[in-house]
Amino acid sequence: MPSDNQSFNYFLRERGADWDVRSLLYHIARSVKYINFSIRAGNTGGAGTENASGESQIAMDILADKIISKELEKSQLAKVIASEEQDEPMTFKSHRGNYFVAYDPLDGSSLVDANLAIGTIFGIWESPEMVGNKAGDGMVAACYAVYGPRITLTIALKGKGCHEFELNDVGEFILTRADITIKDDTTYFAPGNLKVCRENPKYATVMQRWLTKQSKLRYSGGMVPDLHHILSKGHGIFTYPKDKSQPEGKLRLLFEGAPFAFLFNEANGVGKNQAGHDILDTIVTDYHQNTTVFIGSKNEVKAVTDLLA
């Protein structure tokens, strides 16, 4: 149950979030509600098409993408938007706002048929210039929705913390957890791309570390619920290392890595790449570039990236 009857708009205004960012988040929240309806009522089948990362799209990836782009267009605040499901970013020259919004419309598409929790991820930057900058330059907010037994929206604003809201039965997102905080140490691990153990013995050493520590495995195969588990429990580590076929990793910098690194930074956690550098310091060279991902409790992320160095 919500701890306090505060809508996210009221709460973020009290926290000093400016009108434009709250307005963008209002449109993002609307898109999340529509996507939630379409997940419950829609077509769970394949679309027969591929996205820019060469992955098969399902009908719901495409529908969620359309819902979000329409809402961001209505906001009049996003000058440029980039989606995991669109080859090129879209520019709205007439918009009064100057924001850049990157999004993964549906994270965990491969879990839809199995009826597991899935999500949507957004990053918001104050200027549309991205290529050549560090991913974290000008980043002002990030958020993600979890479509599970309950629908939640977790929002982080620059310097204003990370907070969870839950959709109630009259369609409002109400505060459920303010100032989510990640402890430095953990006993939870979510190990993506475990097949890497075979080609990189160092990843097998990391796995051995978790077994020796008697850590608890919490892994669904969806980055959103896996990272939401860590934020909910207040500790944990999620890893997605590179392999020979994916030398920069699988996950996308702008649609997945950077938004979650931003959310975790605001919650006292960290988001590093396999080299142990902040994901948010990665120079953007391409809207669809990939990154390795090591996110969660500070000490554990350091120990794991040190073992892989």
Which residues of this protein are in contact with ligand AHG, per CB under 6 A? Answer: 55, 84, 104, 107-109, 192-193, 221-223, 240, 250
Closer residue to Mn ion, CB minimum distance, 77 or 295: 295
Query: Nearer Cβ to Mn ion, position 106 or 143?
Result: 106
Residues 86-125 that bind Mn ion (CB under 5 A): 104, 106-107
On whether the CB atoms of residues 219 and 190 are closer than 8 A, the answer is yes
172 is an interface residue for Mn ion by CB under 5 A: no
User: 53 or 208: whose CB is closer to ligand AHG?
Assistant: 53
Q: How far is the CB of 182 from ligand AHG (least distance, A)?
A: 18
Alpha-carbon gap, residue 275 to 284, rounded angstroms = 17
- Least Å from the CB of residue 143 to Mn ion: 14
Which of Mn ion, ligand AHG, none sits in contact with 228, Cβ below 5 to 8 A by type?
none
Contact predicate 141/21, CB 8 Å: yes
Q: What is the dihedral of CA 7, 169, 166, 258, to 10 degrees?
A: -100
Does 226 participate in binding Mn ion (rule CB under 5 A)?
no
Of ligand AHG, Mn ion, none, which one does residue 128 interact with (CB within 5 to 8 Å by kind)? none
Q: Least separation, in Å, of the C-beta of 100 and ligand AHG?
A: 19
**At closest approach, how far in Å is the CB of 190 from ligand AHG?**
8
DSSP assignments along 155-196, one per residue: EEETTS-EEEEEE-TTS-EEEEESS----S--SEEEE--TTH
104: tokens are 């993964």
CB-wise, 97 or 191, nearer to ligand AHG? 191
Amino acid of residue 228: H
Considering the complex, state which of residue 20 and residue 71 has its C-beta at the smaller distance from Mn ion.
Answer: 71
Which residue, 302, 251, 294, 247, is CA-closest to 274? 294
The one-letter amino acid at 265:
N
Partner from ligand AHG, Mn ion, none contacting 221, C-beta within 5 to 8 A by type: ligand AHG
* Residue 215 DSSP symbol: P
**Closest chain position to ligand AHG (CB):** 223
Q: Which residues contact 169 (CB under 8 A, 6 or more apart)?
A: none
- Please choose, from the candidates 32, 110, 102, the residue with its C-alpha nearest in 3D space to the C-alpha of residue 64: 32
Task: With CB under 5 A as the rule, give the number of residues binding Mn ion.
Answer: 4
- What residues line the site for Mn ion (CB under 5 A)? 84, 104, 106-107
